[in-house]
Structure 1
Amino acid sequence: MRIMISADMEGATGVTWTDDVVPGTEQWQRFRRLFTGDVNATIAGLFDAGATDVLVNEAHSSQRNLLLEDLDPRARLLTGRHKPLSMMQGIDSGVSGVVFLGYHAGAGFDGVLSHTYLENQITGVWLDDIPASEGRLNAGMAAEYGVPVLVVTGDDKACDEARDYAPDAELVAVKECVSRYAAICLPPARTAELLKSAAADGMKQAGRLHPEQVPHRIEVEFDASHLAQATAVIPTVEQIGTRRVGFDAADMTEAMKAFKVVTAIAAGAVQGIYG
C-alpha cells in the first residue's frame, strides 16, 4: 500500500521563529535534523501498520530541507521546486492515504508562523467561502483524487482546524502556540513516539475513496492594494475589493494551479520593506 507524506516545516518539532525555517541560517541547519526526525518517526509508524511504499514530498520553501542521507531507507523523497501540484505532488500516483506533516495555521489566524503560501503578504484565503489554510486547500486536492487524509501534525492551532477539514484523521500537536513566534514545545523523543503511534493508527483509514471532482472558488486578500491589482491581470482572476481577488475553477487541481500563479505574481510585485 502506497502512502504519501506532504512535509512542511513550520509545524515541525521545536520550530518557533523565522530563522528556524529559512534556508542558509544556522538555526535552519539545526531544525533540518528535527524535521527529518519527524518524518522518520512517521515513516516508521506507516510501515509498522502495513504501508509498502512511502513517498515523502518536500513542501517547504526551497523544498530542499530534509536530509536525504538521514532519511529512513524504506522511503522515497521527492525534493526540489517547480512541481505541477506543488505541496501535493504525488497525490495522483495511486496513493491510498496522505499525511500532512509539519503543517501550520493559515494567514489571518493564530498559530506558530501562521501563513498561507506567502509568509506575510496574504492576510486571508477562502475556499468556497470558508477560511482556508494550506491544510484545507490540500485536503480539497486529496478529496479530488479519492485519497483520505490519515494524519495531520503541527501546532495545536493547526490540529484544531484539521478537525473540521479532516475529521477522521489522527492529530498530533507537537507544540502549543503561545504567539506567532513562541510555543510550548515537546522534545523530539516525545514527539517521535506520538508521530509513530498516530501514523500507525492513521493507516486504519487508508484506502481509495470516491473522487470528488467539483467546481471551486478561491478568494485571496492581500495586505496592500497593489498586490490585488497585480494579480487581477491573470486571466480568470477578478479584483473584487481593494485588496481582494477571486477566481472560479472547474476542479480543485485547476484551482490550486491558478492559486499558485496568483501567489507567484504577488510575490514578484513586492517592493522592498514597503511590501
Structure 2
Amino acid sequence: MTKILISADMEGATGVTWPADCLPGTPEWQRCRPLLTSDVNAAVAGFHEGGATEVIVNEAHMTMRNLLLERLDDRAQLLTGRHKALSMVEGVQHGDIDGIAFIGYHTGAGDEGVLAHTYLGNSLTGVFVDGVRASEGLLNALVAAEYGTPVVLVTGDDRTCDDAARWAPDAVGVAVKDYVSRYAAVCRTPARTAADIRAAAAKAVALATRHDPEPPRERLFEIEFDAEHLAGSAALVPGVEQTGPCRVAYRAGTMYDGIRCFKTVTTMVSAAVEEWYG
C-alpha cells in the first residue's frame, strides 16, 4: 500500500507565465485551469502506473479552488477549498502519507524564476529559515519531514527544479518551462509536459517510503518586506518581533507551529497593503 499526497500550486503549471494566468476569476485563469488539471492528472496516472494505491490531491493555490474536479482522474480524490491547518500540505500531518509531490511549484521571493514569490505575490521580498532563503517548496518540505514523508516529485520551471535540488535532492524533477524573466518562459506543450510528468511520477513511486520523522527543533524564521508599515503589521502577531525597518523574526519549536505562524503573518500583511503605495 502506497499513499501519495499531491500539493498542487499553479504558478509553476504548464503554460502559466503571467499573474492573470493564475488569478482566480480572470479569463486567463479559466484558460489555464485545464493546464493545471492536466499536470495533476499526469502525476496521478504516473503514480498509479508506478504502483501507488491511493492518491489525494490538495489544492494549494490562492483560493484553493482551481482544479477542475469534473476532469480529474477518477482514481484521485480532491481536497479543495480553505481554510486548512497546514494549508499547502494539508493531510501530511495524519502520518499515513508515504510520499508527497509538489506540482506547479515555483521559486521563492528574491530568487529568479517565473512568478517567483513566497505566499504573497508582492510585498514580501525574502523569507529565511535559520539563515537560509526559503521558497514555499523548502518550507513545505521541512513540514513534511517532521511527519516522515519524503518529497518524491517536483514540477515547475527549470529554476524551481534547481531550487528543489537543495531541499529534496532525491526527488524527481520535471521542468515544464524554462525561465526567461519573472513574466516570460519558454513553454513545453501540454502533451509533452503530461508525458514527462507521467513518466517521472511512475519513477518517483520508488522513493515513496516513510522514514523516521525529523525530530522537531527550534528554528529561526526571518521575513523581509518592501515597506516598514508591513513589518509593523506583522509584529502584531504574538511572538513576532520587528528586528529592522522592514524585517521581522520569530522562533518556533516545530515546523507545524512555524508554518502556521508564517501563514498568520502573511494574512496580517495582506490586510495592511494599500492599493497604491503597498
Corresponding residue SS for 1:92:
helix
Give the aligned residue type for 2:209: G
| Equivalent position of 1:138 in the other structure | 140
Among 221, 225, 241, the residue aligned to 2:244? 241
Matched, 1:68 2:69: yes
CA distance in structure 1 between the partners assigned to 2:152 and 2:171 by the alignment: 5
CA distance in structure 2 between the partners assigned to 1:85 and 1:119 by the alignment: 19
- CA drift of 1:85 comes to 0.4
Give the aligned residue type for 2:71: D
Corresponding residue SS for 1:100:
strand
CA distance in structure 2 between the partners assigned to 1:57 and 1:220 by the alignment: 26
Q: What percent identity do the matched residue pairs reach?
A: 56
Give the aligned residue type for 2:22: V
| Equivalent position of 2:84 in the other structure | 83
Structure 1: gaps spanning 5 or more residues: none
Could you state the TM-score of these two structures normalised by the residue count of structure 1?
Answer: 0.99
Among 217, 220, 223, the residue aligned to 2:220? 217
Corresponding residue SS for 1:273:
coil
Moved over 2 A (4+): none
| Equivalent position of 2:277 in the other structure | 274
CA distance in structure 2 between the partners assigned to 1:201 and 1:92 by the alignment: 25
CA distance in structure 2 between the partners assigned to 1:220 and 1:244 by the alignment: 6
Superposed CA RMSD in Å reads: 0.6
Per-residue CA deviations over 1:246-272 (Å, capped at 9, x if unaligned) read 100010000000000000000011111
- CA drift of 1:84 comes to 0.7
CA distance in structure 2 between the partners assigned to 1:186 and 1:167 by the alignment: 24
CA distance in structure 2 between the partners assigned to 1:73 and 1:33 by the alignment: 16
Give the aligned residue type for 2:183: Y
CA distance in structure 2 between the partners assigned to 1:3 and 1:161 by the alignment: 22
Could you state the TM-score of these two structures normalised by the residue count of structure 2?
Answer: 0.98
Matched, 1:256 2:259: yes
Corresponding residue SS for 1:83:
coil
- CA drift of 1:235 comes to 1.1
CA distance in structure 2 between the partners assigned to 1:124 and 1:8 by the alignment: 19
Matched, 1:35 2:36: yes
Among 228, 232, 243, the residue aligned to 1:229? 232
Corresponding residue SS for 1:73:
coil
Q: How does 1:90-101 map to 2 (within 5 A)?
A: 90-93=91-94, 94-101=96-103
